[in-house]
Structure 1
Amino acid sequence: MTDPVFYADRDELSAATAGEQFHLTGPEARHAVTVRRLRAGESLELVDGVGTRVACEFLRGEKDAMTVRVAAVAHEPAPATQFILVQALAKGDRDLQAAESATELGVDRVILWQADRSIVRLKAERAAKTLGKWQSTLTAAAKQSRRAHWPELGDHVNSTGLATLIQSTPETRWFVLHETAEVSWGALRTEELTAARSIGLIVGPEGGISDSECERFTEAGAHTLKLGREVVRASTAGPAALAALCAVTGRWS
């Protein structure tokens, strides 16, 4: 069984030293003590979400505080190629399912997209609550998958804003996943992907990406791409493409 992972603030965790004790307070400590019910001698890990991983032994805890002994401190480098998922809002929490799976697969940034055909609409008065739900989903998935680097939740965009983002980030290779694209995944050259600083995947809603959106995105610099013969759901396309990227860019080597 893998060790449970808990979050610690970057500044606080920077003081962790092998062989020394470390004190953690707040919600994460409370979760470890009252929910996970860790006992003396059990092992755990603390991460700061930006690459630091600290292996620890649980010593004692009470309510919202715990004390651990640091066994080892490691600083994991960020991946050479960053992965971005632009996920259109979808009904039935399929968009959240995609974001959760993408986090488990190593996505580095997630952006909510209000597509023209999105049935779910991001209303101004509920935006903060919706974004909070997405952030909680990413956090839980990052901890579950024991990541030291956690994904960033970017600002939400509409189609105009997404076209502007594509145009303003020429260092990113943007792919619009679309069932009618002429270029399929198998036609991509591995060296082109591994040489990219970042790769962005754009996934539409249940009703698909409109022709006008595809036109705007390709004019801005994106490329349309077909995963395969099968048409997959909005919750599946992004994670499927990310899994393929992990295989060809060395994430899984």
Structure 2
Amino acid sequence: MPARLFVEEPLEAAGLGPESELSLPPGAARHVQVLRLQPGDEVTLFDGSGDEWTAAVTAMGRSEVRVALRARRSVDRELRRAVTLAVVMPANDRMDGIVEKACELGAVAIQPLMSERSVLRLTGDRAEKKRAHWQGVAIAAAEQCGRARPLQVAPVKTLAAWLAEVPAEAAGQRWLLSPVAAQSLSTLVSVSSEADPVTVLSGPEGGLSEAEEQSARARGFAAVKLGPRILRADTAPLAVLGWVALSEA
């Protein structure tokens, strides 16, 4: 199977055929060089539009790799239900795993958050560097799993600021993961439409405070529990996403 490579520039503008050569961006070029591909070898390119392009390597240089676009095809490997994970960032590097697996499982976006009990706190340049790093993780996951639309990582925000921006009334479902909730995930999934977008709010290692849960409920989030066991902060949102993805399989 040809290597799949993401490029940021819109590929539609390049056209098709012998005259449609373009230079790959540095990350994709390094990937081609690591694989030791040669002129004539095929690669698959995608730009986030939902389409894929078959391309052939035409030239290999020390720092430049050129390819020619040969054919374009539309692909659909997305979930029918658009799922956004709003995740209070766990400590250490566990957010990397959440982003990677969320992209594989089909989430359309992740909103990194900080709450009252957050261990990891990011602001300014450090927050933007982390966001860019996580976007790179999402792109690599999309290249591997076959998605033509990489998951989008939003800028880091506090939970209070993010909730203030959430419309009080909007289409779709909003689920708040809470171990003390009365209703189960299966109940919410069964009563929601597959056409409904879903936003899942998940707390940090110590959970959301009571005031934070109340604020989320006031913005339309329905509390839901995932079972009798307490899941880790990096397990709970992926468990929900896996449930939704498998329900469409």
In the alignment, which residue of structure 1 is the partner of 2:201? 202
SS in 2 for 1:23: strand
**CA distance change for structure 1 residues 127 and 29 in 2, over 3 Å: closer, same or farther?**
closer
| Alpha carbons 2:189, 2:244 under 8 Å: kept | no
In the alignment, which residue of structure 2 is the partner of 1:161? 161
**CA distance change for structure 1 residues 190 and 22 in 2, over 3 Å: closer, same or farther?**
farther
- Runs of 4+ in structure 1 displaced over 4 angstroms? 18-21, 77-80
| Alpha carbons 1:59, 1:67 under 8 Å: kept | yes
Distance 1:148 1:229 in 2: 37
**CA distance change for structure 1 residues 239 and 184 in 2, over 3 Å: closer, same or farther?**
same
In the alignment, which residue of structure 2 is the partner of 1:229? 228
- What root-mean-square deviation, in Å, do the aligned CA atoms of Structure 1 and Structure 2 show? 2.3
SS in 2 for 1:167: coil
SS in 2 for 1:188: helix
Distance 2:15 2:129 in 1: 34
| Alpha carbons 2:168, 2:220 under 8 Å: kept | no
In the alignment, which residue of structure 1 is the partner of 2:63? 64
**Which runs of 5 or more residues in structure 1 are unaligned?**
none
Count of aligned positions:
248
Q: CA deviation at 1:236?
A: 1.2
- Which stretch shifts more, 224-233 or 61-70? 61-70
Q: Deviations over 1:193-216 (max 9, x none)?
A: 4131x1111111111111111111
**CA distance change for structure 1 residues 135 and 241 in 2, over 3 Å: closer, same or farther?**
same
- Which stretch shifts more, 120-129 or 200-209? 120-129
**CA distance change for structure 1 residues 173 and 18 in 2, over 3 Å: closer, same or farther?**
farther
In the alignment, which residue of structure 1 is the partner of 2:107? 107
| Alpha carbons 1:109, 1:154 under 8 Å: kept | yes
In the alignment, which residue of structure 2 is the partner of 1:148? 148
Distance 1:68 1:186 in 2: 48
Opposite residue 222 of structure 1, the aligned amino acid is F
In the alignment, which residue of structure 2 is the partner of 1:131? 131
- Which stretch shifts more, 176-185 or 16-25? 16-25
Percent of aligned positions that are identical: 24
In the alignment, which residue of structure 2 is the partner of 1:180? 180
**Which runs of 5 or more residues in structure 2 are unaligned?**
none
In the alignment, which residue of structure 1 is the partner of 2:46? 47
| Alpha carbons 1:49, 1:149 under 8 Å: kept | yes
Q: Deviations over 1:49-76 (max 9, x none)?
A: 1212112333432233334344431123
TM-score in terms of structure 1 length: 0.87
